[in-house]
Structure 1
């Protein structure tokens, strides 16, 4: 399984194509490969460290400073030989990166480092073979040493940012116990096919998405959904690959291939989202490109200024090298990708799946959050609270039986509520034919040669107009009518409980000055009672899917930045119209196509977390960008020697230290990003 590239695939917009980044940028980077590169930098660092000691000891300038003298016949050639090894072996990743950037006509990080170390090496070599001046081999060695160290630390921090995703990858169980006839055999997970029956022993990882066919247990899904409490599972319940079985053994019927499993889709989503570019990323790329240009121009200007102001050639070159090194847009190149890597992986662990990065970053702009009611603010479990026959020839049980005939195959919350009641009363549902969904209005079919429909009050009003005398709806109730041959046979009233988390979620949104609206196909009384109880700013009831879209557009025309939450199917048009579409409660059905963000649980608190986490992520990116550019604004003039007369001068090695520290600060700041699950 490939790990995420932390910087986008190398296109003309990306300038932070740095040494270790070569492989990382060009497509995916395998975990083993990443580890090998970390080891490679580590090895080069230690070799250069050992060689730097004699180079420093033999350097005339260091000897002059420390007032000692070590010289022997040909000592300058030994110095040259050792420095050549450091330049070629230690500088190789930078020189190779420079060539690649030139080939891509995309100068960046490697160009700056490659240029700086080459100038230092060529000039110092010339002094050994006759040019008047003092070499700075020791500067070259320490510069390469610090660059290698900086890269090594930076790559380790990148590996850290990918670790959460690795953990998700590791959740994949490698093997499964396949029920084969009357015996069980161990097979590789990726060979499982739909409808296979697998055994999950206590404490094991669940090997595939599936339906429990035998046994009862509790399952820990926290790594996948962020839900900390173990979830009880019994016959006919769904289980997710990667979750951990509790203390019961269960048999599970596999739902689909491994590549379609919820976990695979989570990993793919995180991968895709990390590769996608957002506006902040493009801003960082532009800044890095400018910085590269500024560095090269400033370096040349600095050299010319000092050279023509009666300073030695070595002094002018040293200033130029320092300017170029200090400007390396390392920190800038990492400012956004590191935050992205961490935020995507953390989101996935907390049940927030980000399909569209720009939507996620824009979460900070949300001014109005539109909720779909059923299953988001409410539990979504309808219970039948009363039944009424409206014709003499039907009893309450007949009304229920007719409704059940149509609803038995449906997963809609109302259908589930009706079927639950039928079970309780031991009523046998009859068979229905030609079942068709009336989108947003109900369902129709044929039962015993009669046309039967289960429809909303809105449909009744539309169909029968004023001739229809509506049943009084009590607060909190949802009503459906059962029609036989277009005549009302009876009604069924269901009630849905408000989720306990909804109260807290609405309160937190108001504290952050985000307005709330309830958009529901349900009747006005239910909408009003839910809105009042939760303190929602406005409600719009009895709306059909296409009207939901219009309502969202209306809010946008009033200047609101609208996020819409819905369960995907009938909310699809509105989710697409909203500035940010958030699909909720999709569970294993990750591909809620029209939404930019998918919430695994239907918990409204997750929506609040998402917005606050989006704000925190954006804040981190801005902090990193501000630090990475601000540091250059201060460091560049110092490197150029602006305070030379005051006795303040940065050496190339000090410049490299500052550059590496700046990168490490960006890495640490990125790693401090957290999802607030309060």
Structure 2
């Protein structure tokens, strides 16, 4: 027996993140940032509300007791508040710009609706009658034709054709993607543009329920709800602010006893520099940016809570078919039986599959071509299609010879009609051995045979169809393991098949012969053990488990029940995107933690700038604490206030883009963030305040 093998390859497209920040966004967001200075809006951010109150107070002092120092402090306190509202406005502005663009496409796009579409007789709709209608008038299951240069009028599935599609209007990603009928890349989104070719699309969304409508509602509807983690952090920041307000209020009278009472302006400056203004200013932008990163990946989150929960997930449930493996089994190996030639087997199998439209049949042709049989063209003969009765397909050649491919029992019976003897018995035993071996691996065996013009038939060998694990998944599962996340493959296959795929994919555990009740029970057991669980699903039978999971990602091509049960919808219907969602959630939490660490660490340097400056006149010995050797008390205080404002604008890109995430354990991430953002948060102000002080000292009066 000879075996001819090859490993099918593919490369999943990598979606690069859209640029998170440009200077132009600052300029276009300025009007909104000024509107957000309204105290009724600022009240929801206690830290920045205190800064605004302080800025208002110093403004009154600058008017009634004018001095250059007070005016400089006032200007920079107002800039501190403005930079905070600017960060939020920039984060919100990107989504609003997308929504405005998409609203135009919804109202202005025309669609070529097919009348009486019949997929069996005219799949390409070349001969079908069409009418031009507004995209808003399309209904569920309407069929439209979209050609190069046209906008796709609504969310749907490609039922015929393949095309390059520009999705930048929705995802922010400029590189076009390929969408084609069949498989898991057939879903298209309304408002995207076809760049090449021609496709036929069946509309899968009801009016008012398209991605455009959801996007607009998400951005322009009710105010974004804060997540539990964000609420807890707000409470912490508010508590720190109250503590420092009490400290500063008590500092004035206390210093008065030593005849070193600071002015109100100095006390306000001290308070603003002591409270965690950096994270207070960026906290809202971080949360909005996390939601936006999901939108860039074509995932619609129903709540910020779901994004945050994704960052804390410790158990990942992944469906086998379409997630870990390709949706259809693919040819992985040709096995010739005794007395047959490997090349003859490949040629016969390929000829019997050229006219086979199924993914399995096309994979046989692709495997044959990858093994050097590239001259496979149109077969000169009568194609025999597969039927449930014969369970075989093949070709009848003009010279009377034939080839057949199909179920081993059917092919054996076809050969046995005209073949007997020791040679047939030996080939049959070899074939049955191969069938048993492939079945034991969890694969699907197909037998191949040929019949000569004189009627003599013989077995050629088998084709090993297998569930092919998607390229790169094993490495990604290893990354998840380093993050402390346990992966569980869920499948309806028997335990033997499931174990083979699980071993090849590198998942941690497997649930075989799973029913909807089994999935639900597994999620509950994990949650009772203190784990947060994420899973994907697309069917009505997945709805209970999606609702129970902490992060339930429903496929956009799935049933309405599944989409209503989940708290996220994947518009690409790509189940492997669950791994990206977990990464985005973790990046959100890490970004928030890193900038909180940086903000609190910043205060250390500010103490050394302001405290000595406040008391050095009454207590000359305090000059020893002026380790930065700042020019004067006034320049030291103003430099600290200026740095406090500028660091906000400097960190806006990081808040929107997110701290770079590398798969590793929580303890390692914590140590890394403390080192980079903790130590960095202490060092950066020493450098920044000193440089600003050198410039401030050039101003007359300082």
Common fold by TM > 0.5:
yes
Q: Note the 1:239-318 alignment, pairs <5 A.
A: 239-250=188-199, 252=201, 254-266=203-215, 268=217, 275-311=224-260, 315-318=262-265
Are positions 1:532 and 2:503 aligned together?
yes
Alpha-carbon deviations, 1:76-126, whole Å to 9, x = none? xxxxxxxxxxxxxxxxx97x62xx489x7996533443345436634873x
CA RMSD of aligned residues (A): 4.7
Are positions 1:657 and 2:642 aligned together?
yes
Are positions 1:580 and 2:529 aligned together?
no
Aligned to 1:61: none
Q: Is the 8 A contact 1:117 1:140 kept in 2?
A: no
C-alpha distance in structure 2 between counterparts of 1:301 and 1:545, whole Å: 63
C-alpha distance in structure 2 between counterparts of 1:601 and 1:212, whole Å: 12
C-alpha distance in structure 2 between counterparts of 1:545 and 1:423, whole Å: 40
Q: Is the 8 A contact 1:375 1:585 kept in 2?
A: no
Deviation at 1:320, TM superposition (A): 1.9
Q: Is the 8 A contact 1:325 1:655 kept in 2?
A: no
Are positions 1:357 and 2:352 aligned together?
no
Aligned to 2:656: 671
Are positions 1:165 and 2:84 aligned together?
no
Are positions 1:612 and 2:583 aligned together?
yes
How many residues are treated as equivalent by the alignment? 494
Are positions 1:208 and 2:154 aligned together?
yes
Q: Is the 8 A contact 1:112 1:292 kept in 2?
A: no
Deviation at 1:613, TM superposition (A): 2.6
**Equivalent residue for 1:553, pick from 524, 530, 535:** 524
Q: 1:161 to 1:610 in 2, by over 3 A?
A: same
Unaligned runs of 5+ in 2: 1-25, 116-128, 333-358, 364-382, 390-437, 446-463, 627-632, 664-702
Q: Is the 8 A contact 1:478 1:526 kept in 2?
A: no
Are positions 1:319 and 2:269 aligned together?
no
Unaligned runs of 5+ in 1: 1-30, 42-92, 126-134, 386-412, 429-471, 480-492
Q: Is the 8 A contact 1:508 1:608 kept in 2?
A: no
Q: 1:101 to 1:324 in 2, by over 3 A?
A: farther
Q: Note the 1:65-80 alignment, pairs <5 A.
A: none
**Equivalent residue for 2:31, pick from 28, 36, 45:** 36
Q: Is the 8 A contact 1:353 1:600 kept in 2?
A: yes
Alpha-carbon deviations, 1:554-608, whole Å to 9, x = none? 3445555433343353233333334433445747979623333444445565333
Q: Is the 8 A contact 1:220 1:245 kept in 2?
A: yes
Q: 1:300 to 1:124 in 2, by over 3 A?
A: farther
Alpha-carbon deviations, 1:243-273, whole Å to 9, x = none? 2202235565544455311343355457789
Q: 1:306 to 1:628 in 2, by over 3 A?
A: same
Aligned to 2:448: none
Q: Is the 8 A contact 2:141 2:203 kept in 1?
A: yes
Deviation at 1:295, TM superposition (A): 3.9
Q: Which moved more, 1:613-622 or 1:170-179?
A: 170-179
Deviation at 1:198, TM superposition (A): 5.5
C-alpha distance in structure 2 between counterparts of 1:363 and 1:119, whole Å: 44
C-alpha distance in structure 2 between counterparts of 1:372 and 1:235, whole Å: 19
C-alpha distance in structure 2 between counterparts of 1:228 and 1:423, whole Å: 42
Aligned to 1:506: 477
Q: Is the 8 A contact 2:47 2:280 kept in 1?
A: no
Aligned to 1:176: 109
Deviation at 1:345, TM superposition (A): 0.9
C-alpha distance in structure 1 between counterparts of 2:506 and 2:132, whole Å: 56
Deviation at 1:660, TM superposition (A): 0.7
Deviation at 1:625, TM superposition (A): 1.5
Q: 1:286 to 1:676 in 2, by over 3 A?
A: closer
C-alpha distance in structure 2 between counterparts of 1:672 and 1:323, whole Å: 31
Alpha-carbon deviations, 1:59-82, whole Å to 9, x = none? xxxxxxxxxxxxxxxxxxxxxxxx
**The residue matched to 1:376 in structure 2 has which SS?**
coil
Q: 1:614 to 1:202 in 2, by over 3 A?
A: same
**The residue matched to 2:498 in structure 1 has which SS?**
helix
Aligned to 1:628: 599
Q: Which moved more, 1:619-628 or 1:364-373?
A: 364-373
Deviation at 1:301, TM superposition (A): 1.5
Q: Is the 8 A contact 2:325 2:467 kept in 1?
A: yes
Aligned to 2:386: 425
Are positions 1:231 and 2:231 aligned together?
no
C-alpha distance in structure 2 between counterparts of 1:568 and 1:270, whole Å: 28
**The residue matched to 2:70 in structure 1 has which SS?**
helix
Q: Which moved more, 1:660-669 or 1:215-224?
A: 215-224
Deviation at 1:655, TM superposition (A): 4.4
Deviation at 1:621, TM superposition (A): 0.1
Are positions 1:118 and 2:118 aligned together?
no
C-alpha distance in structure 1 between counterparts of 2:45 and 2:182, whole Å: 59
Task: State the TM-score, normalized to the length of structure 2.
Answer: 0.59
Are positions 1:343 and 2:290 aligned together?
yes
Q: Is the 8 A contact 1:224 1:350 kept in 2?
A: no
Q: Is the 8 A contact 2:591 2:659 kept in 1?
A: no
C-alpha distance in structure 2 between counterparts of 1:423 and 1:558, whole Å: 56
Q: Is the 8 A contact 1:206 1:243 kept in 2?
A: yes
Q: 1:423 to 1:144 in 2, by over 3 A?
A: farther
C-alpha distance in structure 1 between counterparts of 2:49 and 2:530, whole Å: 45
C-alpha distance in structure 2 between counterparts of 1:655 and 1:605, whole Å: 48
**The residue matched to 1:378 in structure 2 has which SS?**
coil
Alpha-carbon deviations, 1:286-339, whole Å to 9, x = none? 133224323432332222123332246xx4333323223334654232332211
Q: Is the 8 A contact 2:286 2:591 kept in 1?
A: yes
C-alpha distance in structure 2 between counterparts of 1:575 and 1:588, whole Å: 12
C-alpha distance in structure 1 between counterparts of 2:512 and 2:196, whole Å: 45
C-alpha distance in structure 2 between counterparts of 1:195 and 1:604, whole Å: 23
C-alpha distance in structure 2 between counterparts of 1:216 and 1:295, whole Å: 63
**The residue matched to 2:242 in structure 1 has which SS?**
helix
C-alpha distance in structure 2 between counterparts of 1:274 and 1:528, whole Å: 47
**The residue matched to 1:380 in structure 2 has which SS?**
coil
Q: Note the 1:454-533 alignment, pairs <5 A.
A: 474-477=440-443, 496-533=467-504
C-alpha distance in structure 1 between counterparts of 2:639 and 2:658, whole Å: 30
**Equivalent residue for 2:71, pick from 127, 133, 141:** 141
